[in-house]
Amino acid sequence: MRIAIDILIGISIFFALAGTVGMLRMPDTFSRMQSSTNIGTMGVLGVIIGGIMYAIWQYGDYSMAVKIGILGVFYIVTNPISGHALAKGAYRHGYRPEQGFACDQYGEDLTDAD
């Protein structure tokens, strides 16, 4: 049982590492945000599922398990909202990648509207 918890937390650590490496290597703001989502989803979910299993098997405390579960639910529901706001804000503020986008259908529509 302990091994299952360790594997879940290990998976989490792997994705958090991958997200961090991605954030350092990606060339521009938007691609960095994509990589940081790695940390925000699998990096957190693995720890949360591991925490629920730990609370049940090691402590036998179900109310603690429920609380950790709610923490996960709220984390997942609220996390993308900052993602939308950051991406839209960065774009509207004028950040563009140095090597340009492969295609930019948002910019085309924005200039049409103005």
Please give the biggest Cα pair distance in the chain: 60
Cα–Cα distance for residue pair 58/2, rounded to 1 Å: 9
Q: CB 111 → other proteins: shortest distance, Å?
A: 13
Q: Counting contacts by CB under 8 A, is residue 6 touching other proteins? A: no
* CA-based end-to-end distance of the chain: 60
What residues make contact with other proteins under the rule CB under 8 A? 14-15, 18-19, 21-22, 25-28, 30-31, 33-35, 37-38, 40-42, 45, 62-64, 66-67, 70, 76-77, 79-81, 83-84, 87-88, 91, 97, 101-107, 109
